[in-house]
Amino acid sequence: MKLVVRVKLLPTPVQAAALEATLHTCNEAATWAAEVAFEENARRPLELRKHAYAEIRFRWGLGAQAAQHAIKKTCDAYTTLRANLRNGRYGRPGSRRHTRASGKPVVFRPEAAQPYDDRMLSWQHQAHTVSIWSTAGRLKGVAFTGQDGQLEVLAAHRRGESDLVCQGGKWFLIATCDIDEAALNAHPVGFLGVDLGIVNIATTSDGERHCGRRINRKREQDRNLWSKLQKKNTKSAKRRAKKYAGKEARRNKDINHKISKRIVAEAERTGRGIALEILTGIRERARLRKPQRATLHSLPFAQLGAFIAYKAKRAGVPVVYVDPAYTSQECSKCHHTARGNRPAQGVFACRVCGFVEHADHNASHNIAHRGWYVWVCGARSTAPELTLIA
């Protein structure tokens, strides 16, 4: 399976300037190639090469590899655009947005990501440095840093191209890793149901609750500060607001990594699969007061679901997705389903059999049951192929 690892580069000011100049040059060249591709209607690499390769090398002084990448990047951008036009991302054909998107060449931002292959970028994992091509010559000994676990994955499994990106003045390499996955457990003894929520971020049918109270409180504080800073509308306030947004995202990601690791390890240890709700349901069925809505939309449910899915795939633990309808109103003992079974937010009390349990715990039991049915009906794991882990 493919995983993506992101490492942060720590270039010296001179190296950073060289990287910046490189990105700008490559993107200028790609933007020019995109114009050529548009005018000549040459949007496949072989055709575009004929029209643009020599001039890219001559005019921007790019080496053979970099010129090839500029052409490939341009063609990839047109492929993506074509796919987006086709699946309606720009509205219907003939609409203003559709016409605007299809009626002009693709333009690359000066700091758009640049792909690097093994001839342009080499890794020294022991020393935590890379040697990277730039328009100012090869930059040697550019330091990088990342989390230990991810650096191990990188050293052992990196394959193919990496992308150089600049975000908020910081430099990153995004590397693709090809990881062996364990053989899928084709005979799970049952399913561990996982209910994702707001008060409890994840509740398993084993009764383990990953509470989000502390996170929610911190998030609220951050959001208050953030809106205050936004109102101020000065440069330094904007900078601080951005910093806080990044901090929140990192904290959530870290928490999601820990929760998903525990859940997958537990399923693997006990020979079970994992059942999750189809994630799009969470937003649709939630009816909430306004202040809670902000919490809901900023909560990275999708991320936790994706983390569980890829960690499970790696471990050979099957994952199934179940219909989320009424999981919170159904009694997990007698299956009586009614809104009246939920006398309060956190409490489940069945009106028929009298079964009482924590509401999320009851829901996770339902998810586990449904997961078993989905599995028996022959559904396969639908874990996504490529997931960002850093």
Please give the residue ranges that form the binding site for Zn ion (CB under 5 A). 331, 333-334, 336, 350, 352-353, 355
Cα–Cα–Cα angle for 261, 264, 269, nearest 5°? 120
3-state secondary structure the chain: CEEEEEEEEECCHHHHHHHHHHHHHHHHHHHHHHHHHHHHCCCCHHHHHHHHHHHHHHHCCCCHHHHHHHHHHHHHHHHHHHHHHHCCCCCCCCCHHHHHHHCCCCCCCCCCCEEECCCCEEEECCCCEEEECCCCCCEEEEEEECCHHHHHHHHHHEEEEEEEEEECCEEEEEEEEECCCCCCCCCCCCEEEEEECCCEEEEECCCCEEECHHHHHHHHHHHHHHHHHHHHCCHHHHHHHHHHHHHHHHHHHHHHHHHHHHHHHHHHHCCCEEEEECCHHHHHHCCCCHHHHHHHHHCCHHHHHHHHHHHHHHHCCCEEEECCCCCCCECCCCCCECHHHCCECCEEECCCCCCEEEHHHHHHHHHHHHHHHHHHCCCCCCCCCEEECC
Cβ of residue 109: shortest distance to Zn ion, in angstroms? 57
Q: Is 225 or 353 the residue whose CB approaches Zn ion more closely?
A: 353
Q: Is 268 or 357 the residue whose CB approaches Zn ion more closely?
A: 357
Are 206 and 266 spatial neighbours (Cβ–Cβ below 8 Å)?
yes
Q: Is 15 or 332 the residue whose CB approaches Zn ion more closely?
A: 332
Cβ of residue 333: shortest distance to Zn ion, in angstroms? 5
Q: Is 8 or 342 the residue whose CB approaches Zn ion more closely?
A: 342
Q: Is 238 or 351 the residue whose CB approaches Zn ion more closely?
A: 351
Cβ of residue 354: shortest distance to Zn ion, in angstroms? 7
Rounded CA-CA distance 154/172 in Å is 14
Cβ of residue 353: shortest distance to Zn ion, in angstroms? 3
Q: Is 77 or 331 the residue whose CB approaches Zn ion more closely?
A: 331
Residues 6+ apart with CB under 8 A from 179: 1, 2, 3, 153, 157, 314
Cβ of residue 326: shortest distance to Zn ion, in angstroms? 13
Q: Is 268 or 360 the residue whose CB approaches Zn ion more closely?
A: 360
Cβ of residue 363: shortest distance to Zn ion, in angstroms? 14
Q: Is 30 or 331 the residue whose CB approaches Zn ion more closely?
A: 331
Cβ of residue 208: shortest distance to Zn ion, in angstroms? 23
Q: Is 38 or 355 the residue whose CB approaches Zn ion more closely?
A: 355
Q: Is 14 or 334 the residue whose CB approaches Zn ion more closely?
A: 334
For residue 250, give the amino acid letter.
R
Cβ of residue 362: shortest distance to Zn ion, in angstroms? 9
Cβ of residue 246: shortest distance to Zn ion, in angstroms? 46
Cβ of residue 332: shortest distance to Zn ion, in angstroms? 8
Are 321 and 374 spatial neighbours (Cβ–Cβ below 8 Å)?
yes
Rounded CA-CA distance 267/193 in Å is 10
Rounded CA-CA distance 93/102 in Å is 9
